[in-house]
Amino acid sequence: MNEQAMPLKIDHVTLAGSDLKALEQVFARAGLATDYGGPHSNGITHMSLLGFDDGSYIELISTLEPGQAAPWWDAHIRGNGGPCAWAVEVGDVAAEAARIAALGIPVRGPNTMTRQRPDGVLVEWDLAFVGDKQPGATLPFLIRDRTPREWRVRPSASVTGTDLTGVAMVVLGVHDLERAADLFRRVYGWPAPVTKDDVNFGRLAYFPGTPVSLAAPLHPNDFLAERLRRFDESPCAFLIGTSNLHAASNRLRLGTVSSWFGRQVFWFDAPRRHRILLGLIENPPRAEVSLP
């Protein structure tokens, strides 16, 4: 990393579907029982979450009523598209939004949002959407809590105290790998990624020391090409970090194994049957985590 390189830590990632209960059941069958979080202030969507000990979480989102038009991620919700967005927490949403806007990148916000938890607590946060696509489609959207963070997310009973440490990586489906890599390098000052071909995703690019991988299809009829036609650019997979990959794989319902730039990934079976690519990846060596 150069001196201007900016580290990123995932705040949360979002998966969408037409039925929140159905999404909850998919995760429960994978040993990842979620907690209901309540409706959003838009009056249309509601969510459940899987909170990890490091503060990151997976959000499951749908509409309160079937068939409602959602303000964000409507195609993913209606089409059971699964992974749809990711967010990073920043110290000052307005300042970071202004920095990115000065690079000539569209920014919407900051805006204040709320969600009422089932216990009646009102959670408030500021956010800004970056880029000209759906929120968190490629570049992450920005978020900062107004109320205490523990009001928005707490570790879920199904994963707290286990070897699952948090959301470790987003895999972003893009049309043009080189153009997407250049965008991240422009915004965050990262060096060029390492690349490889992958049987599941096509062409992969990974920025070492960051939580970001990019994927572009190699063939017009493969999984990722079809997904891009249906949902445009957006996350196509999420990886959960673990301090003990083999212990976690023995405890949870996991399926196929693949290699991710020198690290193993075990993929969850139950989500994959619903075309949700969710995997476990061992936490990287400390030297890769630390950014100069």
223-233 pLDDT, tens digit each: 999 999 999 99
CB 185 within 8 A of CB 8: no
Please report the pLDDT score of residue 291 as a whole number.
44
Contacts of 204 (CB under 8 A, 6+ apart): 171, 195, 196, 197, 198, 213, 214, 215, 261
pTM: 0.92
Written as one letter, the residue type at 221 is N
Q: How far apart are CA 278 and CA 270, in angstroms?
A: 9
* Mean pLDDT along residues 90-102: 95
Q: How far apart are CA 140 and CA 42, in angstroms?
A: 21
Contacts of 262 (CB under 8 A, 6+ apart): none
Please report the pLDDT score of residue 276 as a whole number.
85
Q: How far apart are CA 256 and CA 272, in angstroms?
A: 10
DSSP 79: T
Q: Indicate if the pLDDT at residue 15 is higher than 60.
A: yes
Backbone angles phi, psi at 17, to 5 degrees: -160, 165
Tokens of 235: 């996350």
Q: How far apart are CA 178 and CA 199, in angstroms?
A: 19
Q: Indicate if the pLDDT at residue 3 is higher than 60.
A: no
Q: Indicate if the pLDDT at residue 149 is higher than 50.
A: yes
Q: What residue ranges define each of the domains in the chain, with the CATH number in brackets?
A: 10-152 (3.10.180.10), 164-289 (3.10.180.10)
Q: How far apart are CA 227 and CA 230, in angstroms?
A: 5
* Mean pLDDT along residues 38-54: 92
* Mean pLDDT along residues 134-151: 95
Q: How far apart are CA 272 and CA 257, in angstroms?
A: 13
Q: How far apart are CA 163 and CA 227, in angstroms?
A: 32
Please report the pLDDT score of residue 292 as a whole number.
40
Q: Indicate if the pLDDT at residue 289 is higher than 50.
A: no
Please report the pLDDT score of residue 254 as a whole number.
84
DSSP 176: -
Mean pLDDT of the chain, nearest integer: 91
Please report the pLDDT score of residue 255 as a whole number.
77
* Mean pLDDT along residues 61-84: 93
Please report the pLDDT score of residue 286 as a whole number.
57
Please report the pLDDT score of residue 288 as a whole number.
53
Encode pLDDT of 182-231 as tens digits: 999 999 999 999 999 998 899 999 999 999 999 999 998 889 999 999 99
> Positive or negative, the Cα torsion across 159, 163, 87, 169?
negative
**What is the pLDDT confidence band of residue 4, given thresholds at 50, 70 and 90?**
low
Q: Indicate if the pLDDT at residue 90 is higher than 80.
A: yes
Please report the pLDDT score of residue 184 as a whole number.
97
Encode pLDDT of 99-115 as tens digits: 999 999 999 999 999 98
- Pairwise pLDDT comparison (56 vs 286), residue with the higher score: 56
Q: Indicate if the pLDDT at residue 268 is higher than 70.
A: yes
